[in-house]
Structure formats: C-alpha cells, structure tokens
Amino acid sequence: MPHSAIRRYLRHGMLPQLVVFETAARLGSFTRTAEALHMAQPTVSTQIRKLSDTLGLTLFEQIGKRVHLTPAGETLHQGCLQLFDSIGRIEDALSGLRNLDQGRLRLAVGSTAKYFVPRLLAAFVARHPRIDVSVQIHNRQGLIDRLAANEDDLYIFANPPEGHEVVCQPILDNPMVVFARPDHRLAGRRAIPFAELAAEPFLMREPGSGTRWVAFEIIDRHRIEPDVRMELSSDESIEQAILAGLGVAILSRHTFGLEPGRRGLVELDVQGLPVMRRWQFAYPVGKQVSPAARAFMDLVRTEAKNLGGAPRGHDGRQG
C-alpha cells in the first residue's frame, strides 16, 4: 500500500495532468501546450486547475502573455522530470524483457532430464546471453510440488501430473527401456519375453520418482510381481548397481545420456519395449509465460530434432 502522503497523486487521473503541467511549464504558454498536445486550450486550463485543486497549491501565475511557475510549480516540475525519467527507465527495462536483452528463466526438470537439458540451455544462452538461467532438478513429486506452488517459469516432466490444472506441450520422445551389464545372461538376445525378464532382480528409483511410476506401470501391465532387489535415490546409484551386477532397471533411454553404451551399459531387446513416453513442458493453467520462457520453448522444439527426434504420433510417425 502506498504511503498515505502520496495517495492524492494516485487519484483523479493525475499522470495525464502531470503531462499537461510539464509541457506548460516547459513552453510557458497554455496555448502552445494545447497545440503541442493536440488539445483544446480550455482542456489544458481545466487539467491544470484540477491538478492545483488536488495538490492544494497554485502552480502557475500569469504575467503578461506568459505563464510562470510558482515556487510550488517549480518543486512539482522537478518532481515531474524525475518521475518521467523513472518511467522511461522502467519502459527501457520492460522493452529489454520483450526483446530478450535481459530477464531470467527459471526451470525445474526431472532428474533424468538433466542429461539433455544442458545442451538445450547451451543453445539458448548462445542466442540470449543476457538472460539469467537457473535450473532446479527434482524427482516427479518434487516437480509436482513446485508446479503447485508456481515457483518456476517452466517445468519439464517425463510424466506430467494428471488431475491438475496444467498446460502440457510435448518436447521429444522418451523411450523406456531395460538396461543391464554387458555380460548379463540376456545381453545380445533378441525379442526376450517379458516373463523371462521378470525373473531378474529389479533396481528401482525411490517412491515419488516418475521413472519408478512408469516402470511399475509397465510391469503391472504384464501382471507380474517384480523382484525388487533394491531402491535407490538417484540414476547414478542405479547405474553403479547395474554395473555391480545387482540387477536390471527399466529407465528412460536418456537416463545416462544420449549414448549410454559409453557408460558400460547395454539395452536389452525385450518384447513390448521400448514403451514410448514423451518429455513435456508443463506450467499452470492461467500462468503468464514470460518472453524468456516462450523463447526457450520455441528453441527446444527446433533443437529436439537433434536430441533423438521430435515427438511421435500414435502410429509411430514423427509429429
């Protein structure tokens, strides 16, 4: 709430009155002010009189054909110059936001997305070097909590929440596959029946993870009870557990980067897999998406083709 002493300045359409006042103070004539502002002279006089009434002070005095500022008018004129300068700087700052010369982009992404989002951010920052970027990395439940609190500009989900007032826009395909160690007994086999895979010990992310949610959805579809050997709280710990021979894991193909083979892992050829999901942008319904966020979404739609392809339709074709 503004200080009570300045509330009078927020009434009666004072900003247009100040524009008339400043022009009259600068030109020294109500007639010339009317011409400069394309107004009738009586309108200029009325605006000045209303401003004087609001302030309770006389602002001009007439000497001959020229109007001169009173001491109150001099004080107000200096204030007008400062006010208009401040408004100009505000507009310059807003223009910078519109033109992406400044501003910020706050992202919150799923833990698996951290393997490809930096490439997208690198392309974005190269185009908009003055935009400040911050990235929060969370599991699915953490993202849902942040989205509900509207803490960020954009969210990237592997599995956007259902039953929420959320706008979702697909980015790229997110294939769910099975990873194992290269010397695993099933490595190199073709078309492995899922029932045979089910006999293997599974490594799972923690409750609240989107990866865990999808993995159990896939397993439940085959109506089996998985042997969950271990729950781990990060993709890196699952990677090390796989390499240690502790089991297999259903994960996004992007979990270990775009070339997981370099990490010493293999993707098993299992019937019914990969199951295709989509990485998606999400933000609350009604949110005013910032210019920086919109520019990032536009860039990602183009760059996603270089990160494994654009989202595919139900028939498997790219859409």
DSSP string computed for 224-276: ---EEEEEESSHHHHHHHHHTTS-BEEEETTTT-S-GGGGT-EEE-BTT-PEE
Q: Which of 98, 133, 148 is the last residue of a domain?
A: 98
- Tokens for 51, please give them: 């401003």
Q: Characterize 189-208 residue by residue with b for buried, 16 or more Cβ atoms within 10 angstroms of its Cβ, and e for exposed.
A: eeebebeebeebebbbbeeb
Task: Indicate which CATH number applies to the domain containing 241.
Answer: 3.40.190.10
- Tokens for 32, please give them: 């010339």
Instruction: Please tell me the predicted confidence (pLDDT) of residue 318.
Output: 33
Instruction: Please tell me the predicted confidence (pLDDT) of residue 264.
Output: 80
Residues 261, 270: Cα–Cα separation, whole Å? 17
Instruction: Please tell me the predicted confidence (pLDDT) of residue 319.
Output: 32
27 and 159 in a single domain? The answer is no
In a domain, 319, yes or no: no
23 and 56 in a single domain? The answer is yes
203 and 69 in a single domain? The answer is no
Q: Which of 98, 121, 156 is the last residue of a domain?
A: 98
In a domain, 183, yes or no: yes
Instruction: Please tell me the predicted confidence (pLDDT) of residue 24.
Output: 93
Structural domain of residue 8, as residue ranges? Answer: 4-98
42 and 129 in a single domain? The answer is no
In a domain, 138, yes or no: yes
In a domain, 288, yes or no: yes
pLDDT in tens, 138-182: 888 899 999 988 899 999 998 888 766 899 998 888 899 999 999
What's the gap between Cα 56 and its chain centre?
A: 48
255 and 216 in a single domain? The answer is yes
pLDDT in tens, 265-313: 899 999 999 988 888 999 999 888 888 898 999 898 887 766 554 444 4
59 and 146 in a single domain? The answer is no
pTM above 0.85, yes or no: no
146 and 184 in a single domain? The answer is no
How many domains does the chain fold into? Answer: 3
In a domain, 291, yes or no: yes
In a domain, 212, yes or no: yes
Residues 6 or more apart from 308 whose CB is under 8 A from it?
Answer: 116, 172, 173, 253, 254, 258
Helices vs. strands in the chain: H and E counts, helices first: 10, 11
For the chain, residues with pLDDT lower than 50 are 1, 309-319
Instruction: Please tell me the predicted confidence (pLDDT) of residue 312.
Output: 43
In a domain, 314, yes or no: no
10 and 83 in a single domain? The answer is yes
165 and 285 in a single domain? The answer is yes
Residues 232, 73: Cα–Cα separation, whole Å? 72
Instruction: Please tell me the predicted confidence (pLDDT) of residue 126.
Output: 92
In a domain, 161, yes or no: yes
Task: Indicate which CATH number applies to the domain containing 15.
Answer: 1.10.10.10
78 and 92 in a single domain? The answer is yes
158 and 294 in a single domain? The answer is yes
81 and 220 in a single domain? The answer is no
Q: Which of 98, 126, 158 is the last residue of a domain?
A: 98
Instruction: Please tell me the predicted confidence (pLDDT) of residue 186.
Output: 94
